[in-house]
Chain A
Amino acid sequence: MPTPTSQPYWDALAAHRVRIQYSPSLGEYVFYPRVISPHTLVDDLEWREISGMGRLYTFTVAERPVSPHFADDVPQLLAVVQWDEGPRCTTEIVDATVHDLEVGMRMEPVFCDYPQHAITMLRYRPAR
């Protein structure tokens, strides 16, 4: 669920764009959304749009559901994607099987809309 701090991130996903924070004092992009820049602890975070493209940092296949909520989703491809701009995000892989995956491969965003929950999730698939 979006919070007052993270709302711009989720609003961007709803428009099928990726917007995350950038800290001039740190000289780096920051994820997840915060009120103060990590490391420098300076109040200078600004929202910037990024492409959403990245690389597969690591992944696993959950053969057993991680909780009852995901009982229908196994085997589930749980992954970490590193954006070209630096930060990493937790995500799931769609439109692929484990055999298609290789650590370091190019990944592209898949925007999954859930109108009934008024939310868009950011998942990934191997770049085409």
Chain B
Amino acid sequence: MCELPPSRLPAGPAEFTIEQYARLAAAAVADAGLDGRVVDGLVTGQLGESAMFVPSTVAEYLGIPANFAEIVDLGGANAVGMVWRAAAAVELGICQAVLCVIPGSWNVPASPLKPIPGIEERSWFGASSNLFGSPQAEFEVPYGNLGQNAPYAQIARLYGEVYGYDPRAMAKIAVDQRTNACATPDAVFHGQPITVEDVLASPLIADPLHKLEIVMPCQGGAAVLVTNSELAGRSRNRPVWIKGFGERVPYKTPTYAEDLLVSPIKHAAEQAFAMAGLSRGDVDMVSIYDCYTITVLMSLEDAGFCEKGKGMQFVRDHDLTFRGDFPTNTGGGQLSFGQAGSAGGMHHVCDATRQLTGRAGAAQVPDCSVAFVSGNGGIMGEQGALVLKGD
């Protein structure tokens, strides 16, 4: 695995996305202590330099004769989606080693002779398409339903109406993760502890979500290598087994969710735990996709770690820090480690992997052998789960 330290501002010289793919791939293979020539599978996200033929473009650049190459387009759920697809390819014997790479820096070289079209406009619309014929362009964008803050706030509002809302419990999620970031030198908010009062005093962005409950975009990148047991045994790190996985992708826009308060992670987590033959009680740490505090809260409930509607109580009753009784997002989560684009989802895979391989430093959870990881893309519409186990 490889995870670049996130940074608010570009770190180092500008590099094209395809160059970032190469650097991250090299770092992941080097971390495993393996030769690059063992890689025979590739899973990518988007490529800044090409909207089409992404897997073959990256395979060519990296010199990977891929038996399996695909692009995954599940936003924040990309990492989990990539890892289980890679695991399936290995399990089927199609590949021996599959690279899953997500670049996360927008600091790419620019040329006035060939400007990047429309990048500003795309960032305004967030995950929504404004192209003619897109359902979002026709029925969402004109009403201001774009980006992420407002839809997540609508989910939080509805949650509060049905189950009650404790802003202090929500703030505690961010506070505990910040404590974890303070034990993680690479975290963007390392050395900057916060309190519940700080969270509640930060500006309301979209009622009821405060600024410190919302993820901060960073630059970075992450990659993992998924191999068969033989290669894993030759790796210089403790192997991490992908014991179970699940995925559920029912909608794009939360307006059309069947029930906005039952997130798709419910199905994904049930499948992952059933496949793993493990229970929630076996889990030593969780790394939960945390674009917003409400995402963490609902994921904990819907993945089955506490009763539906009792998430606020669960958060109040448990210490979610690395030294607590329910270690959550021990590297700081995206809220406090930083969200490097869709590599932010890979942060959770790396966070769990660091724990299971005993490489979490000061934030290490003692005897950590089973981890649960969630991925979440769009606005709860793309979700996946992994159950990972140390050797």
Task: Give the B-binding residues of A (Cβ under 8 A).
Answer: 1-3, 6, 31-32, 57-64, 66-70, 73, 76, 78-80, 88-92, 98, 103-104, 121, 123
Contacts and interface: CB of A to CB of B under 8 A. Distances in A.
Interface in B143-180: 143-147, 149-150, 153-158, 161
A63 B204 contact: yes
A63 B153 CA distance: 11
B53 interface: no
B144 A78 contact: yes
B140 interface: yes
Interface stretch (B234-242, B252-260, B369-377): B252-260
Determine which residue in A66, A67, A88 has the highest number of CB atoms from chain B within 10 A of its CB, and name it.
A66
A60 B232 CA distance: 48
Contacts, number: 92
Given A1-B132, A1-B137, A90-B253, A63 B207 contact: yes
Nearest to B257: A88
Top 10 A-B residue pairs of the complex, sorted by shortest distance between their CB atoms = A60-B153, A58-B158, A67-B124, A103-B161, A61-B207, A58-B154, A90-B145, A90-B255, A78-B150, A60-B154
Given A63-B205, A64-B206, A78-B154, A90 B143 contact: yes
Nearest to B205: A64
Given A73-B144, A89-B255, A60 B161 contact: no
Given A80-B154, A103-B157, A103-B161, A6 B138 contact: yes
A60 B255 contact: no
Given A1-B132, A3-B133, A32-B139, A80 B153 contact: no
Contacts of A68: 124
Contacts of A1: 132, 137-138
Nearest to A122: B143
Contact of B155 (A58, A91, A104): A58
B125 interface: yes
Contacts of A2: 138
Contact of A58 (B139, B146, B161): B161
A72 to B, nearest CB: 12
Contact of B157 (A58, A64, A67, A69): A58
Contact of B124 (A69, A80, A89): A69
Interface string B248-273: 00000111100010000000000000
Given A61-B206, A90-B140, A121-B142, A67 B154 contact: no
17 contacts: A1-B138, A2-B138, A6-B138, A59-B154, A60-B157, A63-B207, A64-B149, A70-B144, A78-B144, A89-B139, A90-B140, A90-B143, A98-B207, A103-B157, A103-B158, A104-B161, A123-B143
Contacts of B155: 58
A62 B144 contact: yes
Contacts of A32: 135, 138-139
Contacts of A88: 255-256
